[in-house]
Structure 1
Amino acid sequence: MNNPRSLAPVTAIETVYSDWTELKRVTFTLRSGMNVTRHVEDHGRSTAVLPYDPVRRCALLVTMARAPVVLAGVEDLLEAPAGRADDRESQEVARAEALEECGVRLGTLERIMEAWTMPAVSSELSALFIAEYSHADRVSPGGGLSEEGEEITVVEQDLDVLWCLLLSGGLPDLKTAFLLQALRLRRPELFSGPIVNVQPALGAEFLNR
């Protein structure tokens, strides 16, 4: 196995499109000396948090219309609350998004990791967290900002049901699936039964609501 390559020299950067996100054409030099050009979608850093109640053993997720998902003709995804970090500190953004989207006030966040979400085409580096909440921390209905046209639905769901959804393919949002697995690894006592025990009826019951 070869050692990881050193930083590739970038020889040119051209902004092709600029609005909510930017599309850039980047030219850099490979190890062989060949110059290549690639396109990069650049909208900055992001953050996501999975709020969970360890007493009632449930988690808060959201659904909303996502343009790529709508375009694919797929039902809305169950997602952990998330947002762009821009120049703000990622924990600050995670708390703000959880309050705005889910109506929950979070305290201490447990950092899982920072991860490249789609390194082939996107510059997005996402900070991922889990965080405890209680019923008393739900201080507003949530739902997002009306001026942004989000129309968010808040879903408080049992952790065992979410785990069954994950194992049966019913939780296809990558950040959410990753955070649920991280929660199971760090807090296994919050889940029932063996880690590979798939109960399709539970997942199907939720999906068919």
Structure 2
Amino acid sequence: MTDLGTPGLDLPDHRGRTRLDQAGRDLTGNPDVVIRDVELLATAWHVLRRTTYDYRHRDGRWTTEQRETYDRGDGATILLYDVSRRTVLLTRQFRYPAYVNGHPDGMLIETAAGLLDDDDPAGAIRRETSEELGITVGELEHVFGVWMSPGSVTERLHFYAAPYTAADRTGPGGGVASEGEDIEPVELDFDDALTAIADGRIADAKTIMLLQWAALTGPFGPTPKTVTPPA
């Protein structure tokens, strides 16, 4: 903070953002919640806020509470599958938060994913699939939209699925090096991927959700999908 202003409030921060303390102040959808104040705690890359609000409990009592929220924007993820070969195409990359919290080496197997930035969810996941896996996606299926960690993180993640073949590979994948990405495409037999959930080799929530969807009601479910190859 300086006498000239505060980045992220009345001065642009390093990403050009201002008025970051306004999020949530105009919420009126829940009459049992009244927003009193929003403080900006950090804007190093994403945004950390502390919100003070009054909350009416089920017994009618009002209390004043505070919650910190981490706002990194919304995201999208996708499961690529090949029904004929019974495979799925995933990624492997280093995740420091998992490493520092007990994962043996921090190398997680995941579905391709990324933040929306300025794109719509479908456009964003097409971009991420191309960057991370080198695959140009055709028709997308929207599976569901989920708040992944609603106790502290505002992100809503949009889940997609789509078929792929070797012919859909149009680039090297691997992520965007200038953004520090070093992503390895990983093709797994679908049954091995399910086994990897049980034995801990796959421990990423979004990936587990999409794999289990695929086994229950998706392309590898009791009524498998028939994918018609392009003419």
Structure 2 regions of 5+ residues with no counterpart?
Answer: 1-29, 225-231
Q: TM-score, normalised by structure 1?
A: 0.84
Give the C-alpha shift of residue 81 in structure 1: 0.6
Cross-structure match for 2:33? 8
Cross-structure match for 1:162? 193
Instruction: Give the alignment partner of residue 108 of structure 1, picking from 121, 125, 139.
Output: 139
Instruction: Give the alignment partner of residue 45 of structure 1, picking from 74, 77, 80.
Output: 74
Instruction: Answer 1 or 2: which has greater helix percent.
Output: 1
1:40-95, Cα deviation, whole Å (9 max, x unpaired): 00111111011111121111111111120232352311000100113320011011
Cross-structure match for 2:204? 173
Instruction: Give the alignment partner of residue 47 of structure 2, picking from 18, 22, 25.
Output: 22
Superposition RMSD in Å: 1.7
SS of residue matched to 2:94: coil
Q: In 2, distance between residues paired with 1:115 and 1:109?
A: 17
Give the C-alpha shift of residue 107 in structure 1: 1.0
SS of residue matched to 1:78: strand
Matches within 5 A, 1:125-164: 125-164=156-195
- Cα 1:50–1:11, aligned 2, differ >3 Å: closer, same or farther? same
Q: TM-score, normalised by structure 2?
A: 0.76
Cross-structure match for 2:148? 117
Instruction: Give the alignment partner of residue 82 of structure 1, picking from 113, 136, 139.
Output: 113
**Is residue 94 from structure 1 mapped to residue 94 from structure 2 by the alignment?**
no
Higher relative contact order (CA 8 A, sep 6+): 1
Q: Percent identity?
A: 33
- Cα 1:6–1:122, aligned 2, differ >3 Å: closer, same or farther? same
Give the C-alpha shift of residue 190 in structure 1: 8.9
Cross-structure match for 1:66? 95
- Structure 1 residue identity aligned to 2:93: M
Q: Tell me if structure 1 keeps the 8 A contact 2:131–2:175.
A: yes
Q: Tell me if structure 2 keeps the 8 A contact 1:40–1:123.
A: yes
Structure 1 regions of 5+ residues with no counterpart?
Answer: 192-209
Q: Tell me if structure 1 keeps the 8 A contact 2:32–2:55.
A: no
Number of residue-to-residue matches in the alignment: 187
Which of the pair has more CA radius of gyration?
A: 2
Give the C-alpha shift of residue 6 in structure 1: 4.8
- Structure 1 residue identity aligned to 2:64: N
Q: Tell me if structure 2 keeps the 8 A contact 1:159–1:190.
A: no
